[in-house]
Amino acid sequence: MATVTLRKLEKRYGATPVVHGIDLEVADREFIALVGPSGCGKSTTLRMIAGLEDISGGEIRIGGRTVNDLPPRSRNISMVFQSYALYPHMTVRENMGFSLKIAGRSQAEIDKAVAEAASMLSLEQLLERRPSQLSGGQRQRVAMGRAIVRRPEVFLFDEPLSNLDAKLRSQVRTEIKKLHARMQTTMVYVTHDQVEAMTLSDRIVIMRDGHIEQVGTPEEVFRRPATRFVAGFIGSPPMNLQEALVYDGALAFSGGATLPIPPEFRNQVTAGQKVVFGLRPDDIFPAGHGLHSGDAAAVHTVELPIAITEPLGNETLVFADFDGREWVSRMLNPKPLKPGEKIAMSLDLGRAHLFDADTGRTLRK
């Protein structure tokens, strides 16, 4: 059981910084996901926690102990790799028992631990196989089994589902979630897939260019994104974002359209301020085909021409033209719409977001 603390953690390759002094506190037994686009430094951060990369500055503490200069083997961690990283010449049983064998445990102890992990991941039938005789999903389960057997203080996952196809991915995702519920161990999980991050974690860390943009629960980062980047990154389809000017008590868009200032932000903006207006597809819908946040007064209706529709069965994604830009809206209880048709769209401004156009930070207090 352990906390993980990063203080001013830095990584430079030569003169090029890739992680810029990040701070993070992972609580004991917490499942935390590091998420961000490729090259944001999330994998590097994880590898620094594992001890596979040297750190260029700052401090890493695991369970209150500074581990900056400790080799991976002394950190009491387990890691699951994207490419599984199984030992090709060992059977599943040997792969899983390897760390205990190295640690000099007795054969009886190893057998017991392996059997336990194997039953947890339903690998009993595969114990005598070699990795080359397993499918991708099975290999990843073995990699997880190998990590479990060690009974580490912290589990590290480096994009463990990226090499799996979509169906397997959701299966293994569920298994990871069960695993966390059962093991009650601190887990740090790196992914570029926001769905994995949202579904699995207690808290999400969103990274960009070696900085942390926001740390929060899935609910927080979705409902109250701290920056424009987070707003665009979390959520699918992504939030509609458009620049506007605060003018005459309203938001004026470059094409001439205007919207009222969302109620939450009325006192946060000043006339002449450049802002970015954001509204999720769920919060803009053909009138009568969606749910608003509860404040009916905040719902604003405009007539918009339909560009295209993507029916998904239970709902339809409607692409409508707003001030020269295509906005995505989610239509519940869909009815057929024709491209070019003008329909009344409800904009739930009670759920709208405003960001400073220069800094990208939210204007919400």
Residue keyed to tokens 């991915």 = 169
**How many CB atoms within 10 Å of residue 46?**
20
Tell me whether the omega of the peptide bond preceding residue 37 falls within 30 degrees of 0, making it cis.
no
Sort strands 154-158 and 186-191 into parallel, antiparallel or unpaired: parallel
Between the two ends of the chain, the Cα-to-Cα distance in Å is 36
Q: Which stretch binds other proteins (CB under 8 A): 125-133, 234-242, 249-257, 337-345?
A: 125-133
Regarding 103 and contact with other proteins (CB under 8 A), the answer is yes
Residue type, 150: R
Sort strands 31-35 and 186-191 into parallel, antiparallel or unpaired: parallel
Q: Min. distance of Cβ 70 from other proteins in angstroms? A: 12
The DSSP annotation for 313-349 comes to SSEEEEEEEETTEEEEEEEES-----TT-EEEEEEEG
Q: Helices (DSSP H) in the chain: which residue ranges?
A: 42-50, 92-102, 107-120, 136-149, 166-183, 194-200, 218-223, 228-233
- Sheet containing strand 274-279, strands side by side: 258-260, 250-252, 240-247, 274-279, 353-356
Q: Which stretch binds other proteins (CB under 8 A): 79-87, 120-128, 188-196, 347-355?
A: 79-87
Q: Which stretch binds other proteins (CB under 8 A): 80-88, 179-187, 292-300, 309-317?
A: 80-88
Regarding 350 and contact with other proteins (CB under 8 A), the answer is no
Q: Min. distance of Cβ 360 from other proteins in angstroms? A: 36
Q: Min. distance of Cβ 88 from other proteins in angstroms? A: 5
Regarding 98 and contact with other proteins (CB under 8 A), the answer is yes
- Given the complex with other proteins, which of 127 and 204 has the nearer CB atom? 127
Of the candidate residues 5, 44, 45, 99, the single one contacting other proteins (CB under 8 A):
99
Sort strands 258-260 and 250-252 into parallel, antiparallel or unpaired: antiparallel
Q: Which stretch binds other proteins (CB under 8 A): 45-53, 108-116, 274-282, 298-306?
A: 45-53
Regarding 177 and contact with other proteins (CB under 8 A), the answer is no
Q: How far apart are CA 345 and CA 281, in angstroms?
A: 11
- Given the complex with other proteins, which of 88 and 313 has the nearer CB atom? 88
Regarding 12 and contact with other proteins (CB under 8 A), the answer is no
Closest alpha carbon to 35 in 198, 222, 237: 198
Of the candidate residues 72, 232, 238, 360, the single one contacting other proteins (CB under 8 A):
72
Regarding 284 and contact with other proteins (CB under 8 A), the answer is no
Closest alpha carbon to 201 in 30, 31, 42: 31
Regarding 277 and contact with other proteins (CB under 8 A), the answer is no
Regarding 145 and contact with other proteins (CB under 8 A), the answer is no
Residue keyed to tokens 């990283």 = 85
- Given the complex with other proteins, which of 139 and 208 has the nearer CB atom? 139
Count the site residues for other proteins by CB under 8 A. Answer: 27
Regarding 239 and contact with other proteins (CB under 8 A), the answer is no
Regarding 50 and contact with other proteins (CB under 8 A), the answer is yes
Regarding 128 and contact with other proteins (CB under 8 A), the answer is no
- Given the complex with other proteins, which of 141 and 150 has the nearer CB atom? 150
- Given the complex with other proteins, which of 4 and 86 has the nearer CB atom? 86
Q: How far apart are CA 2 and CA 76, in angstroms?
A: 10
Instruction: Please report, as ranges, the residues that interact with other proteins according to CB under 8 A.
Output: 50-52, 71-73, 77-79, 81, 83-89, 98-99, 102-103, 130-133, 146, 150
